[in-house]
Amino acid sequence: MSHNEDELIKELKELKTNAQLDPEKKDSMKKALQQHAKKKRSRSKAKHTFIWLSTAAALLACSVTVYTLINNNQITLPAGDNEQNEEIGNAGEDAKDPNDMEGLGVEDPDADISGREEEETPEQDDHSGEGVSQQEFKVDQLGEEARTISVEGTEEETTVRNYRMEPYGIEYQVDTYYGEYAIEENTVRHHDKNNYTSIWLYVEKNATIEELANEFDARYNENFDNVSEIMEPNDGENPYSGLTQNAGSQKYYLYQIDENVLVIEYDQSNPEASDGSARLQTVIESIR
């Protein structure tokens, strides 16, 4: 290289070193550098966001897969545990009904205690007619007819009604003086319109008139002072054997009909209703 060329290169280097940039050009270059740096940061931020979203999506997909597998399989128990659960289930099917605790010494608090009350309560008169349901027991009215009766020694024309008591087939007549009647369990009650006098008829199954007469006698003597002796009734053409007893305003009649006893009880609550007792004789004489 020639000497002149060396000098020229040296001058050019000095010019390059000492030269100053134009202010406008310098600002333009600065803005260009800032925009380049901003774009670079934006690209970096977008890249990080994409990576984060991708990771989150992968984790979510993995969680859904694991949950589905657990839900489908439902964590299968070991064979021994399954057998134990089956045994417990079978035992539950054979478990005793809470209402059937007999033999365990445990009482059901909700159980009906009526049976125990019956055992603890002293025996009382039961007119229910043992062995006969209330649906079977009924009294049918068969019609009316005229009849002559004696009231305090005077004959009187009256009307009587004919009845049949089922399922026993017992027929009897009642003066229309006792114009009202009602079924009370297995007992029929005839009474006058003022309820001054009442007649009850019912059947005691598998009994005798002697047994029942002794029971009435004990009860009457316990509750009344003027109790008569037990005697045979004056019952006209009544074909059945009978016994009767009275205690003032109350009296009873017992008639043996096969293995059963027809019981007739009478009560006069008003002393002035003397006609009621006289008309009771119609019932006694008409029993068939």
Task: List the chain pLDDT tens, one digit each, 288 residues.
Answer: 555 567 666 766 665 555 555 666 656 666 665 665 566 555 555 566 667 677 777 777 767 776 676 666 554 444 444 444 444 444 444 444 444 444 434 445 444 444 444 444 334 445 545 556 666 899 999 999 998 887 777 888 999 999 999 999 999 999 999 989 999 889 999 999 988 899 999 999 999 999 999 999 999 999 999 999 999 998 888 999 999 999 988 999 999 999 999 999 999 887 766 667 778 999 999 999
Q: For the chain, which residues make up each domain, given as ranges? A: 3-71, 138-286
Residue 4 is predicted with a pLDDT of 59
Task: Evaluate whether 246 touches 230 at the Cβ level (below 8 Å).
Answer: no
Burial bucket for residue 40 (CB in 10 Å: 0-12, 13-18, 19+): exposed
Q: How much is the pTM?
A: 0.55
Nearest of 168, 172, 196, 192 to residue 182 by alpha carbon = 192
Residue 211 is predicted with a pLDDT of 97
Residue 114 is predicted with a pLDDT of 42
Helix (H) or strand (E) holding 120: helix 114-120
For the stretch 120-142, pLDDT in tens is 433 444 554 555 666 689 999 99
Residue 90 is predicted with a pLDDT of 46
Neighbours of 28 (CB within 10 A): 12
Residue 278 is predicted with a pLDDT of 77
Residue 135 is predicted with a pLDDT of 62
Residue 58 is predicted with a pLDDT of 74
CATH of domain 138-286: 3.40.1000
DSSP structure string for 126-170: --S-TT--TTT-EEEEEEEEEEEEEETTEEEEEEEEEEEEETTTE
Residue 3 is predicted with a pLDDT of 58
Nearest of 235, 244, 288, 237 to residue 266 by alpha carbon = 244
Per DSSP, 231 falls in state B
- Give just the sign of the alpha carbon dihedral 113, 135, 190, 173: negative
Residue 25 is predicted with a pLDDT of 60
Q: Can the peptide bond before residue 233 be classed as cis, meaning omega within 30 degrees of 0?
A: no
Nearest of 96, 277, 259, 143 to residue 198 by alpha carbon = 277
